[in-house]
């Protein structure tokens, strides 16, 4: 199996690459990543010299580059690359439109022409919008994105779908709930709360803290992607989630308990504009059809995540002070810039 992974220097992509090379020692992976602020080659240092792994710095919206990469045989593309932080999309969504919409379209277009055998588009439960207490979204539910980020992901899903409907290009879409675990950039709720609490800094909870998310440990997501890659049906959508939405305040309190810190650190701050109240997925399809189940419960996953951040103060510090960006520049300059041959 020869894979092109996009966005592999980010949180889920880097966990996926490490997981996939472990689970499939014969697999080859090309990782294409632009190294935006969210791309961090520190995340991949343990496999950077792996003989079956190659890194290419570049933009998924660059059709010439994609064309060159796909001149070698690639069995499947796993497309993670995206702008992902909702708050940043509220401030300015330009990069979200460029990468998530134009970038996905460009990748689909070149991959179709090169007849890539499978295109796995990694999407999100946010495309279904905010749900009420007794609702959960299945794969047929309406797409009702509320943030500019969610709108850009919904648009990319629609392009992916159209490539199957129009050209029978074998696209599969996954829509996953909120991930957490090692190597997550500390702008997202869980790593932000952990890194603040480690330094006894205030924990900013938006609004009343009663918004609900369905937290999934990142390795469970990686296993689900592996199953979809292997056996997902082309043209289909698969929801992926743990199956138990939890209020933000409950997550933060649980973290503080695990860390032995006081709830006095919690500070309620102004709400996020258009803040989705609740995400909840019906994940019956992937469980019944592909036999996937999550393995890591929230309490265990949070404890492992806290442990990871506690044991990686250098990673956190380099992320906070921007040093990882300099390292990425150096890494790239010191590498042969020619395209990898598998």
Active site residue 128: no
Closest separation in Å from C-beta 83 to ligand DAU: 9
Rule CB under 6 A: is residue 205 a binding residue for ligand DAU?
A: yes
Question: Least distance (Å) from ligand NAD to the CB of residue 84?
Answer: 4
Query: Has 149 been annotated as catalytic?
Result: yes
- Closest residue to bound ligand NAD by CB: 10
**Nearest residue to ligand DAU on Cβ basis:** 124
Task: State yes or no: residue 59 binds ligand DAU (CB under 6 A).
Answer: no
DSSP conformation letters of 9-41: TSHHHHHHHHHHHHH-TT-EEEEEE---TT--G
| HSE value, Cβ hemisphere, 13 Å, CA-based, for 301 | 22
User: 170 or 209, CB closer to ligand DAU?
Assistant: 209
Contacting residue, 4, 9, 171, 190, with ligand NAD by CB under 6 A: 9
CA 170, 176, 180, 186 dihedral sign is positive
d(CA 160, CA 101) in angstroms, rounded, equals: 10
Residue 218 near residue 338, CB atoms below 8 Å: no
Report the C-alpha dihedral over residues 284, 289, 292, 293, rounded to 10 degrees: 30
Piece in contact with ligand NAD (CB under 6 A), picked from 6-14, 46-54, 290-298, 332-340: 6-14
All residues at 6 or more sequence positions from 64 whose CB lies less than 8 Å from its CB, including other chains: none
Is the CB of 114 or the CB of 277 nearer to ligand DAU? 277
Among 36, 146, 248, 319, binds ligand DAU (CB under 6 A): 248
- Residue in this structure with the two tokens 């292997």, named with its chain if needed: 230
> Which one of residues 40, 99, 211, 283 is an interface residue with ligand DAU (CB under 6 A)?
211
CA 115 to chain centre: 25
Name the residues that contact ligand NAD, by CB under 6 A: 6-7, 9-13, 32-36, 38-39, 59-61, 80-84, 99, 103, 122, 124, 153, 176, 178-179, 185
Q: Which residues are catalytic?
A: 125-126, 149
């Amino acid at each position: 199996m020869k894979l092109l992974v996009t966005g592999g220097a980010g949180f889920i992509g880097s966990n996926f690459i490490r997981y996939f090379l472990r689970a499939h020692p014969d697999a080859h992976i090309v990782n294409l990543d632009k190294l935006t602020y969210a791309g961090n080659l520190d995340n991949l240092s343990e496999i950077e010299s792996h003989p079956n792994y190659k890194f290419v710095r570049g933009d998924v919206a660059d059709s010439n580059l994609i064309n060159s990469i796909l001149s070698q045989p690639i069995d499947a593309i796993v497309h993670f690359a995206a702008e992902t932080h909702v708050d940043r999309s509220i401030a300015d969504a330009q990069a979200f439109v460029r990468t998530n919409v134009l970038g996905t379209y460009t990748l689909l277009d070149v991959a179709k022409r090169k007849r890539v055998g499978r295109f796995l588009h990694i999407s999100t439960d946010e495309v279904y919008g905010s749900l009420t207490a007794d609702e959960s979204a299945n794969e047929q539910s309406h797409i009702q994105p509320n943030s500019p980020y969610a709108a850009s992901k919904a648009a990319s899903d629609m392009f992916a779908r159209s490539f199957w409907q129009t050209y029978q290009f074998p696209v599969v879409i996954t829509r996953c709930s909120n991930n957490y675990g090692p190597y997550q950039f500390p702008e997202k709720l869980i790593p932000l709360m952990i890194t603040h609490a480690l330094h006894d800094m205030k924990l900013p909870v938006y609004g009343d803290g009663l918004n609900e998310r369905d937290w999934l440990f990142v390795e469970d997501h990686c296993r689900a992607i592996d199953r979809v890659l292997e056996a997902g049906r082309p043209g289909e959508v698969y929801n992926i989630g743990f199956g138990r939405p939890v209020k933000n305040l409950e997550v933060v309190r649980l973290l503080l308990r695990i860390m032995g810190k006081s709830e006095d650190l919690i500070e309620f701050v102004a709400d996020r504009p258009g803040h989705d109240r609740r995400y909840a997925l019906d994940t019956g399809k992937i469980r019944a059809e592909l036999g996937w189940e999550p393995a890591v419960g929230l309490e265990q996953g949070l404890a492992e995540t806290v442990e990871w951040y506690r044991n990686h103060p250098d990673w956190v510090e380099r992320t906070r002070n921007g040093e990882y960006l300099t390292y990425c520049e150096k890494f790239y300059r010191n590498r042969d810039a020619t395209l990898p041959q598998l």
